[in-house]
Amino acid sequence: MSFIVAIDGPAASGKGTIARALADHFGFHHLDTGLLYRATGARGGDPVEAARSLTAADLARDDLRSAEAGQAASRVAAIPEVRAALVDFQRRFAAQKPGAVLDGRDIGTVICPEAQVKLYVVASDEVRAARRAAELGADPGAMLVQLQERDGRDSERAAAPLRPAQDAMVIDTSDLAIDEAVALAIAAVDRLRG
């Protein structure tokens, strides 16, 4: 059986950075599941058909990190049929040996509830907005509004809302340097790998 690390949390909390670092450290496969939703939203047209027919080229688009793609991802992720179309892909990915790190919004609660390690990464709204604004060259105030709208949509949707798994370890990155947050995550994986 594959060793699975599930990392959830809101946008710009640091979960992707931690996930990539964990995958590199342990030699695991990594999937940013948000890219699946971003690619689905960015394709346009019928979102259910887009989700069912995603290709590697769709995931390699260079516009998937834009604020527009993030908003589109949040909208299509609220569609139960889109989520269902992407669940199997994510579970197959997680089953790869020797292990996999998946980051998203519902990995520990829906996609891989059996994951050996579940992390929920958070940061204050202001810190997240500043991070995302710096990444995109955007206005922090406008970014704060966008993130709060997206958080509301993601946490209030009926299908797989954004919330920590009951057994998730919470890492608040608001006042942590990247290496400190990664060290906490590595320690959590080391404890549970035995």
Binding residues for ATP: 9-17
| DSSP bridge pairs for 169 | 119
Residues tagged in the binding site annotation = 9-17
Asked if 83 and 159 touch (Cβ cutoff 8 Å), the reply is: yes
Contact 122, 173 (CB under 8 A): yes
Residue 155 phi/psi, 5° resolution?
-85, -15
- What are φ and ψ of residue 117, in 5° steps? -130, 130
Residue 88's contacts (CB-CB under 8 Å, 6 or more residues apart) are none
Residues linked to residue 170 through DSSP beta bridges, in sequence order = 120
Nearest-angstrom CA–CA distance, 81 and 40: 12
Tokens of 131: 């991070």
